[in-house]
Structure 1
């Protein structure tokens, strides 16, 4: 029991304390979360993914295998929730709102610090790769899911072209393969914006928690939350084992797959008006419950 409490206090409590600052900010001021999400969506997030690719993608990391398994895990979780939603007769908008917080996992503002606390710098390298993959998925597949709540497939696909995140990824990939680098002042400015992304995400998470309506569809919330916190790491365990993944890379991948829903889901749901109240409620519940699933998961992975 002491080990579990120690894991919680050292690895999870700092994350919730940072989010608490956003909660108090939303409670005591009239600052709206959608304004903060705009800054994240258009400035900090593109800078973050660009910087992560530049810093952590190296030839030594099994990038292709990690990408395939991570993407497959996210898609299988999404498919599971989608099929359950359709079977229960939910509307397209409601089904997509259930899928978003189940598919888009919080490997960034929660997963990266937790991975660093649990597995150190070596684990952080693998955790960052998972984060890069999930961020790219969030702003590609996630955008499609969010916009499908009210738009057709063609409109959803065209919306990808407007994403600042896409151009951050493309620029980073081009520079990775060509060996080019940004001019020093530009590079430092991008680093500053990237460093601001995760703290801002935590503040936004707290702001969204303060506004969340937990009286949303309880059954739908249970389905989405269970898929994220329970099915996610189990699917990752199965797929990574089938792929022959072992050791630290597998441990980090499973840990990241057990994270609650990402704030990105709320950002996208707000941007595309796909029942953002429900998405926020689902993320809130998953985040609040995550210590009860992540703490034993960390204990099992490090035992």
Structure 2
């Protein structure tokens, strides 16, 4: 019961308030969703990725283990999503939207506070979550863009689109500067942190604006299937891979927890930016965030058994 109340008050309620503010802002001022989307993609997200990676402390051993786990997990959940898409016989943009809603999860503004709460700010488990966040920030800006454009664009056009996304350049830049201990000048470092700190609020407000402006013809079946694959099958697959690799203790617990979080806001930002099933994507994020109050609580309860 303590976990339930804590997660509800410290994750679900703050997220919901920000989303509701965004929806109210749209209803009142008819905000431009495309402008907000571009701010997220080209300003806030790159700054967040750079700051978090530049300031983190990751050992080579931990990095290798976590990346191998993530490779197996991402492959397994992608195959599962593809099988489901074929069974449901989705067409056009819905295929990419469903893929993104399952394989991209909220590893930053939901998973990081959750990790801090469950493991009491442990640096080791936080470094694990930071690696997952790094990969989950890279993939929406590459594979995610391909997923929402594959049905209507050529490979050449998609690669050109990806090449103009700044986030993919922030990852190697942050690692290189950190490796050679290159200090960030204060006049640059200060605005970088201001922008990075604004990512969560801007992303959640963007989701609220999208929810406030969409036609609420709820795609009940598709959304709940997406939530089931993300919130139930996600941690189950993570647990199976942890057992397969023989991992245990805090590392195993942190990895399984990282697989249990709801659909990423990136799926909404992609859907809005490239006009690909934005209503379904927004509903999938919103419902998975609400339902995670119950599913994540169960995962946390089971973690000590690993």
Q: TM-score, normalised by structure 2?
A: 0.89
Equivalent-residue separation in structure 1 for 2:265 and 2:7 (angstroms): 23
Q: Is the 8 A contact 2:58 2:127 kept in 1?
A: no
- Equivalence for 1:247: 249
Greater mean alpha carbon deviation, residues 192-201 or residues 46-55 = 192-201
- Equivalence for 2:190: 188
Q: Is the 8 A contact 1:82 1:99 kept in 2?
A: yes
Matched, 1:64 2:64: yes
Q: Is the 8 A contact 1:71 1:133 kept in 2?
A: no
Equivalent-residue separation in structure 1 for 2:148 and 2:61 (angstroms): 31
Equivalent-residue separation in structure 2 for 1:81 and 1:213 (angstroms): 26
Greater mean alpha carbon deviation, residues 214-223 or residues 244-253 = 214-223
Q: Where does the alignment leave 5 or more consecutive residues of structure 1 unmatched?
A: none
Q: Where does the alignment leave 5 or more consecutive residues of structure 2 unmatched?
A: none
Greater mean alpha carbon deviation, residues 195-204 or residues 223-232 = 195-204
Equivalent-residue separation in structure 2 for 1:20 and 1:262 (angstroms): 17
How big is the shift at 1:61? 6.2
Q: Is the 8 A contact 1:126 1:252 kept in 2?
A: yes
Equivalent-residue separation in structure 2 for 1:136 and 1:232 (angstroms): 19
How big is the shift at 1:184? 2.0
Matched, 1:210 2:212: yes
Q: TM-score, normalised by structure 1?
A: 0.90
Note the alpha carbon deviations across 1:212-249, whole angstroms, 9 max, x for none.
55535433223222111111111111112222322222
Judged with a 3 Å threshold, the aligned counterparts in structure 2 of structure 1 residues 207 and 111 are, in CA distance, closer, same or farther, namely farther
Matched, 1:266 2:268: yes
Matched, 1:174 2:176: yes
How big is the shift at 1:175? 1.2
Judged with a 3 Å threshold, the aligned counterparts in structure 2 of structure 1 residues 247 and 199 are, in CA distance, closer, same or farther, namely farther
SS of the residue 2:121 aligns to = helix
CA RMSD of aligned residues (A): 2.3
Note the alpha carbon deviations across 1:152-200, whole angstroms, 9 max, x for none.
3343233221111012112112213333232221122212211111222
SS of the residue 1:91 aligns to = coil
Aligned pairs for 1:141-160 within 5 A: 141-160=143-162
Greater mean alpha carbon deviation, residues 84-93 or residues 11-20 = 11-20
Equivalent-residue separation in structure 1 for 2:302 and 2:10 (angstroms): 16
Q: Is the 8 A contact 1:81 1:223 kept in 2?
A: no
Q: Is the 8 A contact 1:8 1:295 kept in 2?
A: no
Greater mean alpha carbon deviation, residues 10-19 or residues 253-262 = 10-19
How big is the shift at 1:6? 4.1
Equivalent-residue separation in structure 1 for 2:44 and 2:277 (angstroms): 24
Equivalent-residue separation in structure 2 for 1:214 and 1:260 (angstroms): 21
Q: Is the 8 A contact 2:18 2:204 kept in 1?
A: yes
Note the alpha carbon deviations across 1:223-278, whole angstroms, 9 max, x for none.
22211111111111111222232222222222221111111111112222222222
Greater mean alpha carbon deviation, residues 61-70 or residues 230-239 = 61-70
Aligned pairs for 1:113-128 within 5 A: 113-122=113-122, 123-128=125-130
How big is the shift at 1:2? 5.1
Q: 1:161 aligns with which of 160, 163, 167?
A: 163
